[in-house]
Amino acid sequence: MMAQITRRLLISIPVLLGVLLLGFGLLILVPGDPATVLAGPMATPEVIAKIRTDMGLDEPLAVQFGHYLLRMAHGDLGRSLISNKTVVSELLAAIGPTAELMFASLIWSVPVAIGLGTLAAVLRGSLLDRAIMAISVAGVSLPIFFIGLMMIHFVGVKWQLLPFLGRGGPLWTVEGLRHIILPAVSLGMILVGPVARMTRTSVLEVLKLDHVRTARAKGLSETSIILRHGLRNALIPVVTLIGLQAGYLLGGAVVTESIFSYPGIGRLAVGAILSSDFPLAQGTIMILALAFILINMTVDILYALLDPRMQTQ
């Protein structure tokens, strides 16, 4: 198992390099001159020239890349062109809210989806099974911004049940909780469909396996069979799927945060790009990519831990 995990970590190295290259590419490929943008509307040519030298924009690409790697190694992502704060501090401020949002989305959607999927599998062929499957296909086909807008329109405005503007505070406070519900429900929605479907397929597969048949022969009730034997094994591919969906969820977070004015990484990324704040854009994109890699790695390791076949290897 250790070998499995080590291998997984090794695979991440080229991926990390890819992220670094992407980040560097972003900075050198920007149209126009970052120094001019940085200097602002009132800058004299001398000021711009100084910034260019300071940022090393006049040096050959290889040298720039070297500088860039060095800065990365020191955790120096530069400063935001707009706020002049370090990119790292901006990211640190936004990462918590995004993590909270992801957590809040997963915490309700995964259990709900697994429940629905299991229910559908147990009652396969029934009307309920079909209904659940139909809903899950519809769920994956809805544009996420539409879910968000409808949430605001109905829950927020028409029924005035919950706030939809920004973040109310940390998750454990009442205001924090109230504010995160709508974005978390919108974001989690995109996960329900695929996870429910995967659970259903997976539970159906497991139910065909030998030891489940044996258990059934022993006269155990269908419910306890599913809970004891079916679900645990069935969850393995589901966990993988959740990992694969992480990218989609992160992408969804970008949209959701923008709609709900939620101060997370996604909104920061969109804002930075729209305001040509290149260092910040670079930072946010890299942190999102890193998060994605990290989630996938965790999932793979979790997979190794969950899967009994892997353990015996």
Query: Would you give the DSSP letter of residue 31?
Result: S
Count of residues that interact with other proteins, criterion CB under 8 A: 88
* 258-277: contacts with other proteins (CB under 8 A): 258-259, 261, 263, 267, 269-277
Decide if 30 contacts 279 (C-beta within 8 A).
Answer: no
Task: Rounding to the nearest 10 degrees, give the CA dihedral for residues 15, 17, 21, 22.
Answer: 30
Nearer to other proteins, 170 or 228 (CB): 170
* 233-262: contacts with other proteins (CB under 8 A): 241, 244-245, 247-248, 250-252, 254-255, 258-259, 261
Residue 153 CB, nearest approach to other proteins (Å): 6
Query: Strand pairing partners for 79?
Result: 86
Does 177 bind other proteins (CB under 8 A)? Our answer is yes
Does 174 bind other proteins (CB under 8 A)? Our answer is yes
Residue 83 CB, nearest approach to other proteins (Å): 4
Going by C-alpha positions, the residue among 134, 170, 168, 164 that lies closest to residue 147 is: 164
* 12-71: contacts with other proteins (CB under 8 A): 14-15, 18-19, 22, 25-26, 29-31, 36-37, 40-44
- Binding part of the chain for other proteins, among 103-111, 211-219, 292-300, 305-313 by CB under 8 A, reads 292-300
Decide if 256 contacts 184 (C-beta within 8 A).
Answer: no
Report the alpha-carbon distance of residue 212 to residue 206 in Å, rounded: 7
Of residues 114, 132, 144, 226, which one binds other proteins by CB under 8 A?
144
Decide if 101 contacts 257 (C-beta within 8 A).
Answer: yes
- Binding part of the chain for other proteins, among 70-78, 220-228, 291-299, 302-310 by CB under 8 A, reads 291-299
> Which tokens belong to 228?
């004891």
Report the alpha-carbon distance of residue 272 to residue 146 in Å, rounded: 23
Does 169 bind other proteins (CB under 8 A)? Our answer is no
Does 95 bind other proteins (CB under 8 A)? Our answer is no
Report the alpha-carbon distance of residue 133 to residue 139 in Å, rounded: 10
